[in-house]
Amino acid sequence: MQFFLGLDGGGTGCRAVLTDADGRVLGRGEGGPANVMSDREGALAAIMDTAGQALDGRAPAEVAACLGLAGANISGARNWLGPMLPFGRVKVVHDAVTAVAGALGAADGIVAAIGTGSVFSRQIGAEVATIGGWGPILGDEGSGAWMGRLFLSEVLRSVDGLAPATALTDLTLARFEGPQAIVAFARTATGADFAREARQLLEHASDSAAEAVLAQATSHIAAGIARLQPAEPLPVTFTGGLGPIFADRLFDRWSQRPARGNPLDGALRLALELA
């Protein structure tokens, strides 16, 4: 293989980087969502578009590629996607694997990856254990999608007088133009759609409704980390778009270590190992 491609993909979008065997960056790409759970064709199109930008005309047959994809563990993508790709060598893994490879390298530790979804991983030696990452309908506690969905539920509860109305719940009702529109939105909303609603919480974090959701999210994330901690606690690395938020909220629970790199770095590292 002359070229090595790392690709990080999920419900929000894709990123790719191409290097030579010496690690020199030759190209990069960015593309749309790669939701391997609900839209195989759309995911494949986004992956190929993003990879194509990075390849910039180079022959895919000369590329060793590693794709770290959200939901690859429960969608079966590790089995069906590889044969559909044109690369000379290809490895499809859950994005938790590339998050660990990027954040920790070969070091022992725990990675809490919090973005649109959430997943928790522990690396000790060559062994990686992962919990969570079950998707936005039944899992991904503490994630942007989870928070956005929970908050909109609380907005509807405030309409019924079952939860306090706050400035933020009133603002959200006005933005949607009523509770019926919130219900209509939720019928077709993706994890990424709900995650965008979570931004309102962060922009109005002092609002009591926002703080209640953030407190529940923090509790779930702390439980995930605690479940993976061995008798001799390991340092925790927070990654993902929301990672810094919860690193601040949990700064006094465990020692923390900054990430060595991001999931895209991890995907590239695993691609280079395919050589």
- Cα–Cα dist 146/216, whole Å: 10
* 11, two tokens: 């419900």
| Full-model pTM | 0.80
Give residue 115's pLDDT. 87
3-state secondary structure the chain: CCEEEEEEECCCCEEEEEEECCCCEEEEEEECCCCCCCCHHHHHHHHHHHHHHHHCCCCHHHEEEEEEECCHHHHCHHHHCHHHCCCCEEEEEEHHHHHHHHHHCCCCEEEEEECCCEEEEEEECCEEEEEECCCCCCCCCCCHHHHHHHHHHHHHHHHCCCCCCCHHHHHHHHHHCCHHHHHHHHHHCCHHHHHHHHHHHHHCCCCHHHHHHHHHHHHHHHHHHHHHCCCCCCCEEEECCCHHHHHHHCCCCCCECCCCCCHHHHHHHHHHHCC
Q: How would you write the pLDDT of the chain (275 residues) with one tens digit per residue?
A: 789 999 998 777 899 999 998 889 999 999 988 877 777 788 888 999 999 999 999 999 999 999 998 877 777 777 788 788 899 999 988 888 898 999 998 899 999 999 888 999 999 988 889 999 887 788 899 999 999 999 999 999 999 999 999 999 999 999 999 999 999 999 999 888 899 999 889 999 999 999 999 999 999 999 999 999 999 999 999 988 899 999 999 999 999 999 999 889 999 999 998 87
Contact 268, 66 (CB under 8 A): yes
- Cα–Cα dist 234/167, whole Å: 40
Q: Both ends of the chain: CA-CA distance in Å?
A: 7
All structural domains of the chain, each given as residue ranges with its CATH number in brackets, are 3-103+262-273 (3.30.420.40), 107-259 (3.30.420.40)
Strands 118-124, 89-94: pairing kind: unpaired
